[in-house]
DNA sequence: ACTTGGCACTTGGTCCCAGGGAGTGCTAAC
DNA sequence: GTTAGCACTCCCTGGGACCAAGTGCCAAGT
């Protein structure tokens, strides 16, 4: 058995199936690809591929369709991430330049990615956890209400009104805030807890309860934002990838609303050597996504927040991977610059 | 012709069609409702209703289906808003109590409404425009970067980092902020523009450029938040209302993503005497929503932000209207209390 | 003036059947 | 290891018959 050719056949099947959206047979294969052998030979190869579980036939006399495992082999061994076209690169630049806010940047990014891939795109907000504290603010609104603001060097700003047990005036609050800020500035948000606890211990006894309460509020703030939000766009594409896929659109929409599910999914996705991680069909532990693939990668520093695309397993992996990677890179650049 | 009975027939048709999701014929009608007359009589009534454009037949030998106009008459003259069941009321209380944040409240509310109606629910954020300024904060982050925070008595907090043309130190900024705040506190956010302009004029000449810049930033902040956000939940229900409706799910999803469209739609919706506004099918100017109805009402004070539900024209209007109204009332109460 | 039973008519849905097409697996020969 | 040929399987399509549901209308009844 000719191993390289067999893989070539798999590639051809995947490409044709993605393109024409219907099972592909041996004859069509030799017609459309220069495989240099006859359809009978291809049939033998296909039988072997089927034995290995890489392709499957919906019924006896239909062509073959790639299985999740088949896509996996395709993605791992056969797909080269196709570079974007010049027009696409231009689109990225024009759409993303001129955004101001972090919110605005993410919003535009996710729309862009969705349009590039014709699929649902999601992007995770930068995690405060990995960022460092840039600024802390505490403003007294009412006698026992304090507005706490936590600003990270990732550019994100979190704020919440926090109730405190005793009345505080402006000046007292300002002093406390300065103490907390000078201790916390520059420390990773993830360590805010210990850092603040240490400072509170050094406060004059009379100030300790209030200080502790403020510290608690700030830590809560950091935690509640680490419990992550995300933005998404392009849900309409789900409905447009009609056909058999349509029955399963409802669970997918549910998954998209259950942000917790999605967030876990994204954070589980380890980057592969080429920098883009792919989860195919049932590889996603979540049942509602059994017929969907997720292509994602991190952006920003380190193994940061994720950005990705979600679509039917029958998707154009090389193109999608390229788009995700390109957009993630550009996004990283923008965030680093601002 | 017996007018009251004709309307009764219309009601029966609407109810049955909503219930069984298939065209309803004269015979089925007399079987399921105590109309007291024979099917032939009903046929005559139905012919009349069809002449008036209130119902239509998909094809010659099918039953009749209400038209948009038919639903309109039903909603205006035949539907009494059915009170919620005790269980539903309990659900509202348990789900909404215990929310802290404004974000959290709205999030829970929209989920709740979606579950109550089995449809897509949307809620608009409170508009800063109608609220009054409670607090203004300006924090210098870097030499030429100031974090501006605007807090309204509606409970909403808007913040953004704003670039200023000259270096500012803490104290100078604090003085400026106090001037701005004391002038603006209590004025409607919508009038922030003029109010601040007046104060800036009274500043010492050296402070005017900076003051003007801060004022500009605050006005921008107010404006950008008035340009409104919204939360939604239950998109999965769209897909579940399967059938002929499914083709049109894609435009609906698009409309939901185009928040601008939705926001305009909601704000156009004038309350009707019973306090809940209904837009049926093509009454929505937006094409993508030609087969969807929107049931909405305002919450909070006056003709405030809107909360509503969106689903197929073939929906249970009385139940939906009741749910929307009940949830809106409870939401108002919660927001007023906090 | 309504209401009603009866009846002819229309039409979509379903079931069945046959034919065609696409594709496969296998075998035997190259 | 490759290829041609062939029998076989199975889906899809279209046509035809049939049925059920529903209508519109008319003539008769109240």
Beta strand residue intervals within chain B, DSSP E? 55-56, 65-66, 120-124, 133-142, 145-152, 157-163, 230-233, 277-279, 292-298, 306-312
Distance between CA B128 and CA A101 in Å, rounded?
A: 19
pTM of the model: 0.86
User: Where along chain B do its domains lie?
Assistant: 3-76, 86-125+228-337, 129-224
A201-251 residue pLDDT tens: 999 998 999 999 999 999 988 887 766 789 999 999 998 776 555 567 889
pLDDT at residue B77 in the model: 93
CA atoms lying within 13 Å on the CB side of residue B73:
19
Q: Is A41's CB less than 7 Å from nucleic acid strand D?
A: yes
What are the phi and psi torsion angles at A291 (to 5°)? -110, 20
A145, pLDDT greater than 70 = yes
Cα torsion at B258, B263, B268, B274 (round to 10°)? 120
pLDDT at residue A95 in the model: 83
Model confidence at A267, pLDDT cuts 50, 70, 90, reads confident
B174-229 residue pLDDT tens: 899 999 999 998 899 889 999 999 999 999 998 999 999 999 999 988 887 666 78
Paired with A133 in beta bridges are A152
A66, pLDDT greater than 90 = yes
Q: How many residues does chain B have?
A: 338
What are the respective helix, strand and coil percentages of chain A, to the nearest 5? 55, 15, 25
Distance between CA A179 and CA A195 in Å, rounded?
A: 11
Q: Which long-range contacts link A192-198 to residues 24+ away (Cβ below 8 Å)? A: A192/A133, A192/A218, A192/A219, A192/A222, A193/A219
A170-191 residue pLDDT tens: 889 989 999 999 999 989 988 9
Distance between CA A78 and CA A198 in Å, rounded?
A: 54
Dihedral angle sign, alpha carbons of residues B56, B58, B64, B68: negative
CB A14 within 8 A of CB A66: yes
For residue A275, what is the DSSP state? Answer: S
Cβ atoms < 10 Å from Cβ of B169: 9
Residues of B in contact with A238 (CB under 8 A): 253
pLDDT at residue A273 in the model: 64
Rounded to an integer, what is the distance from CA B246 to the centroid of its chain?
Answer: 23
For residue B80, what is the DSSP state? Answer: -
CA distances from A61 to A24, A47, A103, A155, B135 (A): 11, 13, 52, 58, 73
Give pLDDT tens digits along chain B (338 positions). Answer: 688 999 999 999 999 999 999 999 999 999 999 988 999 999 999 999 999 999 999 998 889 999 999 999 999 998 887 888 899 999 888 888 877 677 888 999 999 999 999 999 999 988 776 788 888 888 887 778 888 888 887 767 788 888 888 888 888 898 999 999 999 988 998 899 999 999 999 999 989 999 999 999 999 888 876 667 899 999 999 987 765 555 678 899 999 998 888 988 998 887 666 689 999 999 998 999 999 999 999 998 766 789 999 999 999 999 999 999 999 999 998 887 65
Cβ atoms < 10 Å from Cβ of B122: 25
Distance between CA B182 and CA B179 in Å, rounded?
A: 5
- Closest residue of chain B to A146, computed from CA coordinates: B135
What are the phi and psi torsion angles at A65 (to 5°)? -130, 140
- Choosing among 3.40.50.720, 3.40.50.300, 3.90.25.10, 3.30.390.10, the CATH entry for A129-224 is 3.30.390.10
Written in H, E and C, the secondary structure of A48-109 is: HHHHCCCEECCCCCCCEEECHHHHHHHHHHHCCCCCCCHHHHHHHHHHHCCCCCHHHHHHHH
Per-residue tokens: B233: 């939940």
Is the domain A3-76 a CATH 1.10.10.10 member?
yes
pLDDT at residue B102 in the model: 78
pLDDT at residue B61 in the model: 87
Interface residue B39 vs chain A (CB under 8 A): no
Interface residue B261 vs chain A (CB under 8 A): no
pLDDT at residue A227 in the model: 61
Distance between CA B183 and CA B198 in Å, rounded?
A: 9
pLDDT at residue B259 in the model: 87
For residue A191, what is the DSSP state? Answer: G
For residue A152, what is the DSSP state? Answer: E
* Common-topology check for domains A3-76 and A129-224: no
pLDDT at residue A104 in the model: 84
Q: Which residues numbered 63-102 in B keep a CB inside 8 Å of some CB on A?
A: 101
Contact A147 B135 (CB under 8 A): yes
Contact B251 A236 (CB under 8 A): yes
Distance between CA B221 and CA A215 in Å, rounded?
A: 28
Q: Which residues, at least 6 apart from B288, have a Cβ–Cβ distance to it below 8 Å?
A: B248, B251, B252, B254, B255
φ/ψ region of B98 (left if φ > 0, alpha if ψ in -120 to 50, else beta) reads left
pLDDT at residue B243 in the model: 55
- Mean pLDDT score across all residues of chain A: 88
Chain A nearest-CA distance from B147, in A, is: 9
What are the phi and psi torsion angles at B203 (to 5°)? -75, 155
pLDDT at residue B30 in the model: 94
Please give the protein residue whose CA is closest to the C1' of the nucleotide C24: A61
- DSSP run (H or E) holding A162: strand A157-163
CATH topology of domain A86-125+228-337: Beta-Lactamase (3.30.450)
Cα–Cα–Cα angle for A124, A127, A131, rounded to 5 degrees: 145
- Report the SS3 class of residue B131: coil
pLDDT at residue B279 in the model: 96
pLDDT at residue A268 in the model: 86
- DSSP run (H or E) holding A19: helix A3-20
Distance between CA A81 and CA B266 in Å, rounded?
A: 44
Number of A–B residue contacts, CB under 8 Å: 74
Distance between CA B327 and CA B114 in Å, rounded?
A: 11
CB B156 within 8 A of CB A160: no
Chain B nearest-CA distance from A89, in A, is: 24
Distance between CA B296 and CA B198 in Å, rounded?
A: 39
The CA R_g of chain B, rounded to the nearest whole Å, is 26
Residues of A in contact with B135 (CB under 8 A): 139, 141, 147
Distance between CA A20 and CA A320 in Å, rounded?
A: 17
Residues of A in contact with B254 (CB under 8 A): 236
pLDDT at residue A19 in the model: 95
Cα–Cα nearest to A230, from A279, A294, A281: A294
A76, pLDDT greater than 90 = yes
Cα–Cα nearest to B290, from B332, B320, B249, B329: B249
């Amino acid at each position: 058995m000719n191993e390289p050719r067999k893989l070539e056949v798999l590639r051809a099947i995947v490409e044709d199936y993605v393109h024409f959206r219907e099972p592909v047979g041996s004859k069509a294969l030799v017609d459309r690809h220069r495989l240099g052998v006859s359809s009978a030979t291809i049939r033998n190869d296909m039988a072997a591929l089927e034995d290995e579980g890489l392709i499957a036939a919906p019924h006896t006399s239909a062509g073959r369709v790639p299985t999740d495992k088949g896509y996996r082999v395709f993605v791992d061994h056969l797909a080269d991430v196709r570079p974007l076209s010049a027009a696409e690169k231009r689109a990225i630049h024009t759409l993303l330049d001129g955004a101001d806010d972090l919110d605005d940047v993410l919003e535009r990014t996710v729309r862009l990615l969705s349009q590039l891939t014709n699929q649902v795109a999601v992007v995770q907000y930068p995690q405060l956890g990995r960022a460092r504290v840039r600024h802390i603010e505490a403003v007294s609104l009412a006698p026992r209400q304090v507005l706490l603001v936590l600003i990270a060097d990732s550019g994100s700003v979190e704020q919440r009104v926090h109730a405190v047990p005793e009345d505080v005036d402006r000046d007292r609050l300002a002093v406390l805030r300065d103490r907390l800020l000078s201790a916390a500035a520059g420390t990773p948000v993830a360590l805010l807890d210990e850092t603040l606890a240490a400072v509170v211990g050094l406060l004059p006894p009379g100030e300790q309860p209030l200080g502790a309460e403020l510290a608690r509020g700030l830590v809560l703030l950091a935690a509640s934002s680490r419990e992550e939000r995300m933005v998404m766009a392009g849900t309409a594409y789900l409905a447009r990838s009609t056909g058999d896929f349509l029955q399963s659109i409802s669970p997918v929409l549910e998954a998209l609303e259950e942000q917790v599910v999605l967030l876990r999914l994204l954070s589980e996705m380890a980057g592969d050597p080429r920098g883009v991680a792919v989860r195919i069909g049932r590889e996603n532990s979540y049942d509602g996504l059994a017929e969907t693939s997720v292509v994602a990668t991190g952006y920003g520093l380190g193994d940061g927040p994720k950005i990705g695309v979600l679509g039917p397993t029958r998707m154009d992996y090389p193109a999608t991977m390229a788009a995700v990677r390109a957009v993630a890179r550009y996004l990283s650049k923008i965030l680093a610059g601002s």
